[in-house]
Structures are given as C-alpha cells and as structure tokens.
Chain A
C-alpha cells in the first residue's frame, strides 16, 4: 500500500452560529467567530489517498484525475466563497475546521475510483488543523 498526498489552497470566509442557541450562548461558545459579517482564512487542504501501485502506470492514482476531482468537488465550491451562505452543507452546520474536513471527505470519497481516500486534513491557519479518516 502506498499513500499519496495532494495539497490545495483556498480562501473563504465564515462565521460560527447555531440558530438553536440564544445570542448569549452563541457569543459565549463561539466568541469572536460569532461575528455575523464573517471573517476569512487561507485554508490548506491535504488529501491523502492510498492504494496499490498499478504495475503498468507506476501510479497509485492518476494525479491529474485527483486534481480534477479536487478542483470540481471542493475548490470550485469553496474558494472565494462565504461558506455559511454559499456551500449547502453549511446552511445548517457550523463551518468549523472539523466540519470542513468531514464535508470535503464526503464530497471526495464517492468520486474517487482508482484510489481509496485515507485522510482529509484541513488547515485553517498554520497553527490549527483538523483530520478526518472517515470514522463514524
């Protein structure tokens, strides 16, 4: 089994808010991230796939294909977007780093053919990242 990681970057804005919480609860739990006008990050996405090396091509996965899936399913949808308002998963879900990793996984996993998704890592800043391995 060989693991291959592809990196991508996107810039997006978001804010943290749960309509089921009171204004005070939102403020207490989410702090500055609750500002309704949002704020932004340069996110880095790392997608790790695993598989056996194809004896003919020498590839685990065709990087060009992986890049296309990544661009179409994640980057086109999230780059230069306000996540809460433009990405349907976040209409009802708080766009935390954890949830971004989960949503990216859910968008990518069904579209990858040759290789199997191993891990999605999302960096919100160089000092904060979340990993999702598809675990329940």
Chain B
C-alpha cells in the first residue's frame, strides 16, 4: 500500500532580496523592507514528503534515519546560520523563498534515492509557506 511520509526540519538563515538587473528604485518597489542593504533573517521550516509502497518487513516508506541523515548533511548543515546571498546556489538568483524552495527540492531530487520525492514545503514565517513538487502535482 502506498503512503506518504512527511518530516519537518528547521534552519535559520539571513537573506536580502535584491536583483542586480533592477535599479535601486525598482528593487525598493519590488522588495520593500526585504531590500534593506544588510539583510534580515528567518527561522525556516522545511517539510519533506516522500512516498512509496510501505515495505512489508519494515512497515516503512523509507528509513527515517536515511532521510534525516541526508537532509541534515546536505541541507541543514549547509544552510543553517548562513547568509543565503553568499551561497553559491544564489550567485545568480535572488534568494526568495520561492527560489529557496526550488533549490532545496533539487538537492533532494538529485541526491536522495531511497524513496520517491513527492514534494517539499518551506515556511519562511508562520504566515508564508511555499510548496514545490518539480513537475508533479501537489496532493492535499
């Protein structure tokens, strides 16, 4: 039987929303306070949903230790307490939470093979959250 398993992780990071392709006024208009020159931070929550058949012998879609190990090493260790703007991942894209969401999805998609990646969800604050499933549909 097919089930979906969702695990929640957290990390804190700072960012500044600024596009070099826009003028100072345009940046200000587009990003408001988020354009302040020294940046600001968030406590992000990342929810990773994997899916697949529940194995008869383990009762699991995937071993949580594998998922935790991957996310801790490849995402939390690398993003926690960083300034997103200084990271290679955001050298060419503005570190909006939309772009962060796609970046994190791609890290999982490329590197985590123990279960099918269904979708991810990133909470920037309690009020804003973003979901991405690559080309896939999001099931609620």
Contact = CB atoms under 8 A, between A and B. Distances in A.
Interface of A: 16, 18, 20-21, 29-31, 93-99, 101-102, 126-133, 135-136
A99 B65 contact: no
Interface stretch (B17-25, B56-64, B73-81, B104-112): B56-64
B7 interface: yes
Contact of A102 (B3, B7, B57, B58): B3
B57 A101 contact: no
Nearest to A118: B140
Contacts of A132: 1-4
Contact of B6 (A18, A21, A102, A128): A128
5 contacts: A18-B57, A20-B57, A98-B59, A99-B59, A102-B1
Contact of B54 (A21, A30, A102, A126): A102
B6 A16 contact: no
A94 to B, nearest CB: 3
Given A16-B58, A102-B3, A132-B4, 18 more contacts: A18-B57, A21-B57, A94-B59, A96-B54, A97-B5, A98-B3, A98-B5, A98-B60, A98-B61, A101-B3, A126-B8, A127-B8, A130-B6, A132-B1, A132-B3, A133-B2, A133-B139, A136-B1
Contacts of A96: 54, 58-60
Contacts of B4: 130-133
Contact of A94 (B5, B9, B58): B58
Contacts of B2: 132-133, 135-136
A95 B8 contact: no
Contacts of B64: 128
A96 B9 CA distance: 20
Contact of B59 (A95, A128, A129, A133): A95
Nearest to A136: B1
B2 to A, nearest CB: 4
A29 B3 contact: no
Given A95-B59, A96-B59, A128 B7 contact: yes
A133 to B, nearest CB: 8
B48 to A, nearest CB: 11
